[in-house]
Structures are given as structure tokens and as C-alpha cells.
Chain A
Amino acid sequence: MQVNEQFTPTIVAFCCNWCSYAGADLSGTNRLQYPANVKIIRVPCSCRVNPMFILRAFQRGADGVIICGCHPGDCHYTTGNYYARRRTTLLFSMLDYLGIERNRTRVEWVSAAEGAKFAATMNDFVAQITELGPNRRLEDLRCRK
């Protein structure tokens, strides 16, 4: 397998509007750096993240997907992140079975006050994905740029 030395992963981050998206904003306000590979999609709640979105991202060539939501118990909609937690637990183990390594997917709870945690998480996740190399297992070649 050919290893591209200049590999810069594409990472999709789903952030809930109330905690993690605000946390991401806070890390920006505090000028905490994290790599540009992370692109954030705003969703109302982590429970809005349909497994289809994650599969689609991997199909389209994303190398990692991270879902960020409010801490358990602090969900703006009371219970949304519990659903997200259950769904992703099942989905990620299925993805692992399909060959998308467990380390390519992550769920992290980031509150609106945790700008530093958001930046640290993203730095860590990007490093982790860079080490794993490109996702080839689920990527649809027809979608390649």
C-alpha cells in the first residue's frame, strides 16, 4: 500500500448547538489552535446525528468522524446525548467490524465552557487519525476528487 507522506486527514466533527459548538467558538475566542483539517457541522443536538451521516462521510472519503455533545445529564433537550451515546456505541462497533478502525470514530462531551478541552480533543484526534493513515475501507472510489 502506498503511503502518502503528506497525508492530511479530512475530519468531520458534528457539534451540538448548545454545548460543543459553543465550546468550539470559545476555543476560537481564546485563540486556541487546532488543525484546519477539522470541519465542524452544526446540529441542534448530538441525537440529531443520523448514522447515515457518518457512513456518508466515510463513503465520501472522510478519514475520521467525531461527535461532540453536552455532558451526560446536561443535554439542552434533557436526554438527547443519551440516545447519541447508545447509537454511536452500536454503530462504532459495527464500523469496527466493517474495517473502520475504532480509533477513527470518537464521541466526546464538551461543554460550552470547555474551549480548551475542545482544542485539545481536536489536536489529539487529528494526531490519532494521521497516525492511522487514510481511510480506504469504506471510501467510494467514484466519490474521489
Chain B
Amino acid sequence: MQRIGVFVCHCGTNIAGTVDVKAVAEALGREPSVVTSVDYQYMCSESGQNLIKDAIRDYKLTGVVVCSCSPRMHENTFRKAAAAAGLNPYMVEIANIREQCSWIHKDVAEATEKAIILGRAAIAKVQLNAPLVAGESPVIKRALVIGGGIAGIQTALDIADAGFEVDIVEKQPTIGGKMTQLDKTFPTLDCAACILTPKMVECAQNELINIYSYSEVDAVSGFVGNFSVKIRKKARYVDETKCTGCGLCTEKCPQKKVPNEFNLGMDNRRAVYIPFAQAVPKVATIDADYCTMLKTGKCGVCSKVCTAGAINYKQTDEIVERQYGAIVVATGFNPIKVDKYDEYAYGQSKDVITSLEFERLTNAAGPTSGKLLRPSDGKHPHKIVFIQCVGSRCTPEKGKSYCSKICCMYTAKHAMLTREKYPDTEVYVFYIDVRTPGKNFDEFYRRATEEYGVHYIKGMVGKVSPKADGTLEVQASDLIMNEQLRIDADLVVLAAAIEPDKSARPLATMLTASMDTNDFFTEAHPKLRPVESPTAGIFLSGACQGPKDIPETVSQAGAAAAKVIGLLAKNKLTCNPCVAHSDELLCNGCSQCANVCPYGAITYIEKEFVMPDRSKKIRRVASVNPAVCQGCGACTVTCPSGAMDLHGFSNRQIMAEVDAICK
């Protein structure tokens, strides 16, 4: 017979406001096996926990039921308290009477009745709990960072700094990400390349960091501390170990008409290319979609000029399988496609560009060598209109429902830099709100208007119409003056919303990490665990979790690294003891459980049994590896003989809960 203690939490007024906690404690006190039932202001507080510990000792409790908030919140707190008092931590059950009772009901009688039933279900379950001992699993002391932008680079550097091995997987031929395409960075206006490239080089030189460029993650298996990842090294038709990055091939390649994605298609590159001068690794890549040799078998110029003999047209994709203790997702963002907003005429005029294209036009390494020239005729624009919130803050049918966060600041930067370099240029910024929370951010925006004379107009552009003389008529409202404006602009710049990279969705499926409706990765807790995914061992860094600027990305990258280091520093991890186990006497060795197990945790062993007539017989029975089993329970339902059961969620326990609820 169990001796059960029931502890009902008021949670201030969060629970006590709608649930009559005294009545709940009294009603549950009358349940069979319950020897003590009390209520208290805050069970999770030090004194609340002491109340539980004392009761365990005084009443010699064998089971504890806490009626409080969600087990996702404080189950561990109460388990630890029980363990401190000498009770097996898995003899604690939580009845969720806050999130699933007091907060969703208004009627006190109704909520109290429900709380009592939930308490009864937990008591019924704990009656059948068995003490469990958690096993241990080893930690592989290497981390994987998926994505080699500033987020991934910073995370990798910080992890390596603590003495752990890190692999970076980057799908582009070079690491660096979006930041390599930027010209200056707000609010200090230091050049992006000047602060980023040293970090890229550091990654390449660090012995603990291993870069898989032009590679993608193909498959992930395993669990925290013990992931196994298949990395696909895409064929780049250049031997990385031989290529010196001299760039001779990229000058001699006769295929000159390949849109250069690094400059967003505003100029061309060759079929064999190095994305930009500071690329890491500085290795050429052949674009198979355009290479004449790979398409027709006739050319081979690059191979002839390469003194290192690095060109290899026969290279194929290579799969590398590596083991990791932790995985960091740093897949970043992309600006959305803006062609669908017909009113802005992006598809109709070359002089309507996105902000990232504007970055390239002002960058010294860009298609115009840093001179701000109109893409259509190469002339210097004298009137520029910036349009904010293109696709941000919309209904889901129109675009993204969130604020993209970085646009206000980079537009202020673009406006300011334009006025500084070309004082003869009029700059208009149409905004809905200017959002500049951040250190020195609002001061920066104020400088744009006060010192640089940028015209900020509260209102939105309704239509951009390309005219015959090559200008763009911008029709917009000025809400302060309450008038409609028509501006003949030379260049229109759209601050496109940002969205998670397309690769994030399939990756999330591989990692079984959850995502929100916008395809941003979900954090384990929005306030208290912002860099961890709810899936153990998966961490989040940078814009894959939500829109972020560079300072914020770098600090989150460091935070993710700290979490990874904390994990890798452990030699062993405590496993979840709520795993499957088979009753060997019932098991008939049919293999059905092994077929449904997603982890391959079930194997079959030949074992000798003594039969009722004392004869000995060797039978084939299922055996679960508790270090590999994750406790989903698929096998327990599949098992035709009912031999499989799950610790902590056994058939009898759930049945008892069903009974208590339906009674």
C-alpha cells in the first residue's frame, strides 16, 4: 500500500483565484492511500519545497502528488525536492491545475471540481508508479554548427575557444553568410568585411574548427550527446586540398555569362568562380549548371591553366558521417521576393531595387565598385525614395505578420551614407513607425534627419509608376501634412521583409526541432531558454530563431556556444529512465516492436528459460537498450502480446488515469 502526500499550490492568486484550493486539498485527502493533503501559497518556493521534504520524512511517504502549474514548468523542481528527502524522484506526479484549469475557467465551482478530478487522476497514477533509476550515456565531445554566417562563425569560435572540436557545415562555397554582402554596419558604420573577415580567417586557422563548405546536412539520427550526422559534400569539381585559390581559372574560363549571386545577379561571373576575394576556404568551385566541359565534354580550359592540377571533372558528391554531442542551428535568413507587390514595380523597372541590392551597389567590391549608379542607365541618381515595411507587418495573405526588425536601422544607414557621399541627392524615407530600440540606435536615426537632412515622411507609398523619361513616379501619402505626394524619383529602394532560409524547414524535420508558423525555430522557453530548442541537444543561433541584427546575433551565438560548452563539458548525461522494457515471459519474439522503433533501440537475444515442467528452453526475446530508447512508446502499442510497456507511462498507469477521469 502506498502512502501518498498531496500538495496543493495557490500560486499566489493564479490558482487560488479560481480554484478553491482548501476544498481541493480536503477532497483529495479523502482519497485512498492519501495520508496527508495540504495547501500552500507557493509550493515551488524554498519553504514550499521544505513542506514537501518534511512531509516525506514525517509521514514516510512513498508517493507525492503536487497540484500546481504545468509539469513542463516545475516537475524537475519537485522531483529534486523529493530526491533530497530520500524519495525516488520518479514517485512524484504533477496535476496541472494552473495552465489546464484555473487559467482557462472562470467559474469557481467548475474549476474546483475539475482540479479535484485532475488531482484524483494523478493520485491514481502515482499509486502505480515504480521507483526508477536513470541510466547514463556518454557525450561525444564535438559540436556541429549548421550554417556558416556570422552566427555560426561566432558560435564555432566560442566553442573551439573552450577546447572542443567544432564542424561548420555551410551550403555556399564560402563561409561568411549575408554579412559578407553588406557594406557598412549600423550604428557605428564600421565596414562589414573589416570586422567579419578576420573572424572567417580565424575559423580557417583554428585547429579545432573544421569547415565543410559547399556541403549540406543529409540525415540526422541519434540523440543528445550522441548524434550521428550525414554530411553531403557537394561536388565542386575542384580538389580542395590542391587548390591554392590563385584565381587563374576564374579569369580564363570562357563561360562569362553566369549571373553572380553574390552581387544578387547585378553582374556576371564565370562558370568556375570564387565568390569574393576574402572567401574562406579560398577554393574555386565549378558551377555544373553552366560549365561547358561538364555539360558537353568540350572545353577543359580551367584544367589546362591550373598549375596545381586541382580541377577534377569526375568528382562526385561525397557523404561523410560524423558523430556529435550537440548541434547548433544557424541557418539564418533571406529577404523575401518582392515581385509579388505589383504596386512597387520591382519586376517592371531595374531602378526599383531591394535594400540588399543597394548594399551591393554601395560596396567597393560590388558591381559598380562602390559608386551609387542606377542599374538601368548607369547614371547617378539624384532623388532616392526608400520604402519601409515591404512585406513586413502584413496579414499572412499579404506577407509576413512580424516586424523584420532590422529594416529601420539599415534604411537610416543607407539614407545617411547616401547623403554623406552624394550631398546633391535628395533622400526620402517613407515609414509607418520608426523602430529603433537598441544601444545608440535612436541617436543614429536622429542623426540621419538632423545632421544629414534625410526627409522622413510618415506615410506609405501606394504606387510606383515607371515613366517614359526613365524616372519613377512615387505616389504616397504624408499623414502628418494630410496630403498625397508625387515624387519623381531616380531610384526606389524596398526594405524587403526577411524570412528564414528555405533549408530550415527540412532541417527542422531531420532534427525533430519545432518551428513556428513562420518557419522560425522555436526556443525551449521564450524568456528563460532562448537559445535552446525544445529538443535536447539542439541549440539555436542567430536569425533562424527570429529576425535579429548583428550585435544581437553575435550575443545569441555566444549564448548558444555557452550552452553547448556546458553540455560537452559533461562526461556522461543522465538518461531519461521513462523508457520501454519488455516482459520476457510474455514476449514471443515477433519483431514487430523493432520494426516501429525509430531509434533501433530494440534488439533480440537468445535466452534460456526454465519452463513450468522444469525443462530448459532457449527463446528469442526482445531487449531494449535503455541508453538508446527515447521513450516514445510506439512499441508498447504495437506489441501483440502486451509484453512491451513504458516506465513512467505504463498501460496500467494511463488506464488508472482514464478511470479516475471518467468516474
Contact = CB atoms under 8 A, between A and B. Distances in A.
A25 B74 CA distance: 13
Interface stretch (A32-40, A93-101, A126-134): A32-40
Interface residues of B, number: 52
B663 A145 contact: yes
Given A19-B514, A44-B646, A83-B596, A39 B661 contact: yes
B390 interface: no
B634 to A, nearest CB: 4
Nearest to B663: A145
B517 A39 contact: no
B100 A43 contact: no
Given A12-B661, A36-B111, A113-B522, A45 B633 contact: yes
B512 A75 contact: yes
B98 A50 contact: no
Interface string B526-557: 00000000110000000000000000000000
A80 B514 contact: no
Given A48-B632, A53-B654, A119-B104, A78 B114 contact: no
A18 B516 contact: no
A22 B509 CA distance: 18
A136 interface: no
Nearest to A50: B637
A128 to B, nearest CB: 19
A60 B659 contact: yes
A61 B662 contact: yes
A41 B598 contact: no
A74 B514 contact: yes
B121 interface: yes
A80 B634 contact: yes
Given A28-B103, A31-B103, A36-B113, A45 B663 contact: no
Interface string A48-63: 1111110011001110
A34 B104 contact: yes
A29 B99 contact: yes
A74 B658 contact: no
Contacts of B388: none
Interface string B86-130: 000000000010111101111100110110011001000000000
A78 B598 contact: yes
B103 A44 contact: no
Interface in B634-651: 634, 636-638, 646, 649, 651
A70 B534 CA distance: 13
A123 to B, nearest CB: 11
B535 A76 contact: yes
Contact of B110 (A36, A70, A83): A36
A48 B598 contact: no
B314 interface: no
A48 B649 contact: yes
Contacts of A77: 512, 598, 630, 632, 634
Contacts of B466: none
B121 A51 contact: no
Given A43-B649, A47-B637, A25 B70 contact: yes
A42 interface: yes
Contacts of A76: 512, 534-535, 632
Given A28-B100, A28-B103, A113 B516 contact: yes
Contacts of A39: 114, 117-118, 121, 661
Contacts of B113: 36
A140 B110 CA distance: 26
A6 to B, nearest CB: 13
A103 interface: no
A68 interface: no
B90 to A, nearest CB: 14
Contacts of B101: 36
B72 interface: yes
Contacts of A29: 99, 103
Nearest to B535: A76
Contact of A25 (B100, B114, B508): B100
B657 interface: yes
Contact of B654 (A22, A43, A74): A43
B71 interface: yes
Contacts of A78: 512, 598
Contacts of B517: 113
Contacts of A49: 637
A2 B135 CA distance: 56
Given A25-B99, A113-B517, A83 B634 contact: yes
Contacts of B96: 25, 40, 42
B533 to A, nearest CB: 11
Contacts of B104: 27-28, 31-34, 119
A142 B65 CA distance: 29
Nearest to B115: A36
Contacts of B103: 28-29, 31
A105 interface: no
B160 interface: no
B578 interface: yes
B478 to A, nearest CB: 37
A89 interface: no
Contacts of B110: 36
B98 to A, nearest CB: 7
A75 B596 CA distance: 14
Contacts of A10: 661-662
Given A10-B661, A31-B104, A61-B662, A42 B71 contact: yes
A12 B651 CA distance: 16
Given A41-B654, A41-B658, A77-B512, A50 B105 contact: no
Interface in B46-79: 70-72
A41 B634 contact: no
Interface in A75-118: 75-80, 83, 87, 111-113
Contacts of A24: 99-100
Interface in B613-639: 630-634, 636-638
A21 interface: yes
Contacts of B631: 44
A72 B56 CA distance: 43
12 contacts: A18-B534, A27-B99, A28-B100, A33-B106, A48-B634, A48-B637, A53-B658, A74-B514, A77-B598, A77-B634, A80-B633, A119-B104
Given A29-B99, A62-B658, 4 more contacts: A27-B104, A44-B633, A57-B661, A80-B633
Interface of B: 70-72, 96, 98-101, 103-107, 110-111, 113-114, 117-118, 121, 508-509, 512, 514-517, 522, 534-535, 578, 596, 598, 630-634, 636-638, 646, 649, 651, 654-655, 657-659, 661-663
Interface of A: 10, 12, 17-19, 21-22, 24-29, 31-34, 36, 39-45, 47-53, 56-57, 60-62, 70, 73-80, 83, 87, 111-113, 119, 143, 145
7 tightest A-B CB contacts, nearest first: A28-B99, A48-B633, A60-B662, A77-B632, A28-B103, A25-B99, A45-B632
